[in-house]
A = this chain, B = another copy of it.
Amino acid sequence: MTISRRGLIHRIGRVGGVAAAYRTMAAMGLLAVPAAYAGPPVLAPGGGRRVVILGAGIAGMVAARELGKAGYRCTILEARGRAGGRNWSVRGGDTVEEVGGSQAVGWDVAPHLYFNPGPGRIPAHHQGLLSYCRELGVAVEVMSNDNRSAWLHDDKGFAGRPQRARRVIADQRGYVAELAAKAVDQASMDGPVTEADRGRLRAMLRSFGALDRDMTYKGSERGGYSVVPGVEAGVVSAPLDLRALLAADFWQYKTQFSEGWQMAPTMMQPVGGMGRIGEAFGRSLEGVITYHAELTALRRVGEGARVEWRDTRTGAVSAVEAERVICTIPLPVLRGIAADFSAETKAAMAAVEYVPAGKIAFQAERRFWELDEQIYGGISWTTRDITQIWYPSAGLQEAKGILVGAYIWSDKEGEAFAGKSPGQRAVDALADGAAVHAGYGASLGRAVSVAWPNIPFSRGGWAEWSREARRSHYKVLQAGDGPFLFAGEHMSYVTGWQEGAVLSAHAAVAKVGG
């Protein structure tokens, strides 16, 4: 058996498509890692064949766009009056509809005064999404995700006094390096490091942790100053007590969060709000998307499908038939629609949990976090229910801003948030935030909150596959069910990110026209 690498890749490409060839090349080490984005699949000409797509979120619109390029005739049925789905920016004059009530958004109108109830970040390696931003002319800008000036707050740590992330992170790092240096000194040290490497290892640890000459951590400029240097020399802050650091919950995730694949810099956002992407997709698919079309039934008809829907404004009922239907509806909604799915498909759909995420945003009359605390963008963390406070990376140093006063994704807290009235959410979020910022509520008002379990046609934040559900059910949905193919962030290993929606749509259209 001899086969050249090129030959192998060519064969895989013919059988499995571009994506498979690409993955093979990556696995063979023939691509730089993390590798260049492979691009959407190359499709056979559609010749005007009809494909019905359910949902004008990112997945549905990517599918329509790619199939459209290849000559398919697509129809997207969208229950809302707008494109984007969870890709959404709320602005002054908008209305937020939840099951059980609506909120009028009474904010001032300005380009930087927006709130992303859904996704708010684009990592650099999400090249699927970023390539559509390029195609659609949606400008992106750097956003601050990890901000070392932001606060870490634990009600039970440091007597409940918030600590600057800068200081906690620097001191944690210093103590870890000091500990590691002790191990280097142990004669019994095993592992791959030999005596000859120890000098270099010690020097590395000293640099890593900003250790003193004696290899102990005594604080460093990384942690900040108690007297900031100016025309006189500064005084470095004393290190936080190690035992106090260990007692607070900061290290359990928060001090590491920005090291992660999805979270590390460079992080980006569309200029003017995440919703700019959905809006641009929507404009590019004018005539393809039918809005206000609430699905009522998904039927099999011969080899194809019939999709039934009603107009949410008029109540008029319609139906459309097609050989293939790409279904991007979030599973909590899809589960409630009468559908001729197999028992296996229904079991798979039932096996996926959704995160009960929620956010609240306030209009701030004064950007106190910038003016008083030197916080520009990024996130503060607290053990309170609000979990996070997000400072806008847009409109830095403007007079006003939209502050995200809670971002909740834990089950218990998320469900509690969804169970409250918008007014109660605001009261509670202001109380929680006051533990992080003195005088927090003084310049905040006009709250707008979104509890995703209550949002019609979404009914959840994003999919969470248990290991067991992945093993037993993912392949079932991936294979599709007769004429029905499934896409959306839930149909990926990048759940909770728009990139998952993009890549799942590529996989679906490859099945239609690959």
Contact = CB atoms under 8 A, between A and B. Distances in A.
Interface of A: 19, 23, 26-27, 29, 32-37, 124-125, 127, 130, 133-134, 139-144, 146-149, 164, 166, 169-170, 172-173, 176-184, 186, 189, 191-193, 197, 200-201, 203-205, 207-210, 221-222, 224-235, 237, 241-243, 246-247, 251-253, 255-256, 259-261, 264-266, 268, 372-378, 393, 396-397, 478, 491-494, 500, 503-504, 506-507
| Majority SS at the chain A contact face | mixed
11 contacts: A26-B226, A34-B149, A36-B372, A134-B397, A142-B142, A146-B265, A176-B208, A222-B260, A229-B492, A231-B506, A266-B375
A222 B263 CA distance: 9
Given A142-B376, A204-B172, A373-B32, A230 B180 contact: no
A117 B509 CA distance: 48
B397 A231 contact: no
A142 B193 contact: no
Contacts of A504: 231
A27 B259 CA distance: 33
A506 B124 CA distance: 41
B180 A232 contact: no
A266 B376 contact: yes
Contact of A478 (B142, B147, B231, B247): B231
B34 A228 contact: yes
B265 A230 contact: no
Contact of A192 (B189, B197, B242): B242
Nearest to A226: B33
Given A33-B225, A186-B186, A234-B493, 16 more contacts: A23-B232, A34-B374, A125-B374, A140-B396, A142-B376, A148-B265, A176-B205, A179-B179, A180-B180, A180-B183, A181-B183, A183-B183, A200-B247, A204-B246, A208-B255, A231-B507
